[in-house]
Amino acid sequence: MSSTLSQPLAPATAAAPRSRPPARRRRPARAVWRSVWTGALTALVLVVVVYPLVWLVLGSLKTQPEFLNNPTFALPESWTNLDNYVTAVTDGNLGTYARNSVIAVLPSLALTILFGVAAGFALEVMVWKGRATTLLLFLAGIMVPGQMILLPLFTMYFEVGLTGSLWPLIITYTAIGLPLTVFMMATFFRGVPREIFEAATLDGANVLRMFLAVGLPLVRNAIFTVALVQFFFIWNDLLIALTFTNRDELRTIQVGLLNFRGQFGQVDYGPTFAAVCLNVFGTLAIYLFLNQRVMKGLTAGSVKG
């Protein structure tokens, strides 16, 4: 009778000890100090940028005696004093100045974008003899200081009878904005694959249709970015507007703020601060609202499709 040898039971395996989490490595002192200095520099830049805006708002709430009698950094006595804003718009003709700025900015901006985008397309997409030389001529226009051409332009406008109107501003803004617009749009069109335009040509599209139906949608964000850059340049211009506006009813908002005076020629600080606030925060709100479109436009030229 065979007996079955029982196999010895395997000893119970002891539970594996839990592995301790690795000890957190301490950051080196150099990295800590680098973070501290970066944070301090960021805070300093933030203060430099934000403090003037806060100072403008506080100044717009002060009365004339507060500016003359109280310390410069004193807080306004009343936080609900909006009389300065009413005075800036009504007595200070701020509405007239803003209207003149809009009349001068919108047509010149439209002409600059229309001619600049078309020229950028022609110089970068179309193939024709002499396009490289033409692009260099546009680039040379960027290097010409605007102060050099003001006197000859004023003489020309006077001889043809355009002085006393906003046409000199519109023409000058368009001419000065074209070189940079053409250069930037040519750069953005350079980032568009040539195969797209070749496919459109094979499908029977002519040059005009290829520009309107293919080129413009591909660089839409770039056009938006260039338009915003040119808008801020034209809106904030002082020298050209000061040269060609010879009457108070033709002044733009920047020239109007420069000559913002109260009765008997004295400076009314409260309405002046209020007018500057309306101008600064208006353009700042436009930029913040359109910031994402600007970022897309700035990176559009580096994306290959």
- pLDDT confidence of residue 2: 47
CA dist 286 and 282 (Å) reads: 6
b/e sequence 4-16, b meaning 16+ C-beta within 10 Å: eeeeeeeeeeeee
pLDDT category of residue 194 using cuts at 50, 70 and 90: confident
DSSP secondary structure string for all residues of the chain: -PPPPPPPPPPPPPPPPPPPPPPPPPPPHHHHHHHHHHHHHHHHHHHHHHHHHHHHHHHHT--HHHHHHS-TTPPPS-TT--HHHHHHHHTT-HHHHHHHHHHHHHHHHHHHHHHHHHHHHHHHTS--TTHHHHHHHHHHHHTS-HHHHHHHHHHHHHHHT-TTSSHHHHHHHHHHHHHHHHHHHHHHHHTS-HHHHHHHHHTT--HHHIIIIIIHHHTHHHHHHHHHHHHHHHHT--HHHHHH--SGGG--HHHHHHT---GGG---HHHHHHHHHHHHHHHHHHHHHTHHHHHHHHHHTT---
Which has the closest alpha carbon to 242: 227, 252, 230, 232?
A: 252
Lowest mean pLDDT among 109-118, 176-185, 275-284, 292-301: 292-301
- pLDDT confidence of residue 34: 81
Largest alpha-carbon pair distance within the chain? 135
**CATH topology for the 103-259+286-300 domain:** MetI-like fold (1.10.3720)
Q: What is the pLDDT of residues 195-209, one digit of tens each?
A: 888 888 888 888 888
Residue 30 has pLDDT above 80, yes or no: no
pLDDT more than 70, % of the chain: 85
pLDDT category of residue 101 using cuts at 50, 70 and 90: very high
Q: What is the pLDDT of residues 34-68, one digit of tens each?
A: 888 888 898 998 888 888 889 899 988 998 888 88
Average pLDDT across the chain, whole number: 83
Q: What is the pLDDT of residues 127-182, one digit of tens each?
A: 888 888 888 888 888 888 888 889 899 999 999 988 889 999 999 999 999 999 99
- pLDDT confidence of residue 16: 52
Q: Note if the pTM is more than 0.85.
A: no
Q: What is the mean pLDDT of residues 12-16?
A: 51
pLDDT category of residue 29 using cuts at 50, 70 and 90: confident
- pLDDT confidence of residue 1: 44
pLDDT category of residue 235 using cuts at 50, 70 and 90: very high
- pLDDT confidence of residue 305: 44
- pLDDT confidence of residue 166: 92
Residue 303 has pLDDT above 70, yes or no: no
The 3-state secondary structure of 250-285, one letter per residue: HCCHHHHHHCCCCHHHCCCHHHHHHHHHHHHHHHHH
Show the tokens assigned to 76.
Answer: 């306004």
- If one compares 71 and 113, the residue with the highest pLDDT of the two is 113
Would you kindly state where each structural domain of the chain is located, as residue ranges? 40-81, 103-259+286-300
Residue 292 has pLDDT above 90, yes or no: no
Tell me the backbone φ, ψ of residue 238, rounded to 5 degrees: -120, -45
